[in-house]
Chains A and B, each alone.
Chain A
């Protein structure tokens, strides 16, 4: 098959290119330069993850109950307007949020966590709300007709059926969160942004990349980890990944 031979050739070419890139970067001392930043990267990555975990964890802890609350029939009158308020909140750039909260909370980690929390909140709330509202009305009628209480309906029917969508929201939100954490450096909260922004200021591309590449890798890893958790937690019957 011509296409397959072409794919094979491309793959071989790519491997050769990677090999030579490796050889070149070793020869030019690039790898050594990167390795020189390794202790920094390790330390800052810890800070970075801590910021993500704190702000993301807080956001999940607030957003899911908020989404559930908004999806209750008694809240129907307020739900859409409240979602709009949250929407507007998200259109404000994270940098602006950080700057604004800095004027109230001062410089430091607390401010950064708060800013990131605000940025992460909406996608999770939106998906929780949409996921719960999207549950097939026939299921809700069956659940009610069978004699489930509203709480039982929520935990046995609504949440399990919305879980996949809720997890999708968390994936989006936390991936964005990891990518936004570098901005926290600007208000003195640390993280891999320290290498990126300092690298930019010093015209030092290696330093900048030493911050940027781990940030990108972290985002991918966080995404994969949540995807894996979703794979395990979402019941088989409603899990497209396990169909």
Chain B
């Protein structure tokens, strides 16, 4: 757990005092990722760096796991906090193994233990130990280097990690891969993480909570969904972007808004009964045909069912798209737009049809939160801790 109590930094510049961070108070619960988000110069990085005293706080306190760090020796404090920076900062004069084991070595672990730890870390970041441990940082790609950077920060198993735009310098494709890998690691490791970003999409993807900063002040501190549904003021709203409702699509899974009830026909049914099914379930254009294993096999369109006689198995069209239960709504929306359809059959892990998701349900779900929040601006989840 990281707790900031009225943390303040004032820089003395020739033009006068500049308040970079103004009485920041917040709390990151154990095992959660908190994203510090905001435009350049908003104080997010200063706040982060005050935690491990790269920037010396002017006033205020930092608690880690309930312990006041004010009296702690700086070196001891830092060795117990994992630190990842945007420029990666691997030591080019050391091999990958030396880089990863640097903190364990500073902490005085014995040789067999830290060497074993290096191999463990390599396995965790999915790089082959024998191929990489003896190489030097300049022989690695940017993405590989930042994986090593993360491994170095995690090597001594610190309870808390600080990450300063860790994936900012990596190309978009690799960045997405590393973000996914990191989230997977985090599920197992459950570190308490403060993470600086200026990328709203990264924040939504990575964060359990998001703290929005502006001009040295903490403006709003909420879960991503609450932040998007109920921005506290116009600054947050504009920072999140005009398409913030669409961004929420990333956060909702198909199984949260699925309708279990779905009308289907089987290949042996007649087109007449298919037409009846379409009318009974109130579908506009078509009905899904499933095979005997319950998997989607095709669709019967209303026009075919009305004008033709025969069996469904002879007159179906291909299923345009299906979606899994754990996919997010963004993918669902994308598939609907791509195929010009208003509903999607949902399938479970075995490929069996288990419900449907409609455009109506999606818009209603997103809209419900917006409407609810408009009446009550002091919604308990969205009020930032002052």
Contact = CB atoms under 8 A, between A and B. Distances in A.
B267 interface: no
Contacts of A144: 54, 78
B85 A146 contact: no
B78 A138 contact: no
Contacts of B81: 145
Contact of B83 (A145, A161, A237): A145
A238 B102 CA distance: 18
A103 interface: no
B308 interface: no
Given A235-B94, A237-B136, A142 B77 contact: no
B106 A146 contact: yes
A149 B137 CA distance: 23
A139 B103 CA distance: 15
Interface in B120-171: 136-138, 152, 162
Contacts of A143: 89, 91
Contact of B138 (A138, A152, A243): A243
B282 interface: no
Interface string A214-243: 000000000000000000000111100001
A138 B77 CA distance: 20
Interface in B85-99: 85, 87-95
A150 to B, nearest CB: 10
Contacts of A39: none
Contacts of A161: 91-93
Select the residue from B80, B94, B138, B152 with max chain A CB neighbours within 10 A.
B94
B83 A142 contact: yes
A90 B74 CA distance: 42
Interface in A134-148: 136, 138-139, 141-148
A157 interface: yes
B148 to A, nearest CB: 12
B103 A147 contact: yes
Contact of B93 (A141, A152, A157): A157
Interface string A58-97: 0000000000000000000000000000000000000000
A243 B92 CA distance: 12
Contacts of B88: 138, 142
Select the residue from A141, A142, A243 with max chain B CB neighbours within 10 A.
A142
A141 B94 CA distance: 16
Given A237-B136, A237-B137, A146 B103 contact: yes
Q: How large is the interface on A (under 10, 10 to 19, 20 to 34, 35 or more residues)?
A: 20 to 34
Tell me if B's interface is mostly helix, strand, loop or mixed.
Answer: mixed
Contact of B91 (A145, A157, A243): A157
B95 A237 contact: yes
Given A141-B85, A237-B138, A147 B79 contact: yes
B52 interface: yes
B76 interface: yes
B75 interface: yes
Tell me if A's interface is mostly helix, strand, loop or mixed.
Answer: helix
Contacts of A193: none
Q: How large is the interface on B (under 10, 10 to 19, 20 to 34, 35 or more residues)?
A: 20 to 34
A160 B102 CA distance: 15
Interface in B54-111: 54, 74-81, 83, 85, 87-95, 102-103, 106
B106 to A, nearest CB: 6
B78 A141 contact: no
Nearest to B137: A237
Contact of B89 (A142, A147, A237): A142
Contacts of A243: 138
Contacts of B162: 145
Nearest to B77: A147
Given A152-B106, A243-B138, A142 B94 contact: no
Nearest to B94: A237
B78 A156 contact: no
B54 A147 contact: no
Contacts of A238: 92-93
Interface in B164-202: none
Interface string B20-46: 000000000000000000000000000
Contact of A146 (B93, B102, B136): B102
B136 A148 contact: no
Given A145-B52, A145-B54, A147-B77, A138 B87 contact: yes
Given A152-B106, A237-B136, A237-B137, A146 B92 contact: no
Given A147-B79, A148-B106, A139 B138 contact: no
A230 B233 CA distance: 61
Nearest to A236: B136
A160 B93 contact: yes
A122 to B, nearest CB: 26
A156 B152 CA distance: 16
A139 B116 CA distance: 25
A146 B52 CA distance: 9
19 contacts: A136-B87, A138-B87, A142-B90, A144-B78, A146-B79, A146-B102, A146-B106, A147-B76, A147-B78, A147-B80, A147-B106, A156-B91, A156-B102, A160-B94, A235-B93, A235-B94, A237-B95, A237-B138, A238-B93
Closest 8 CB pairs of A and B: A142-B89, A237-B136, A138-B87, A147-B78, A147-B79, A145-B83, A160-B93, A235-B93
Given A141-B85, A237-B94, 5 more contacts: A136-B89, A139-B91, A145-B52, A149-B75, A160-B91
Interface of B: 52, 54, 74-81, 83, 85, 87-95, 102-103, 106, 136-138, 152, 162
Interface of A: 136, 138-139, 141-149, 152, 156-157, 160-161, 235-238, 243
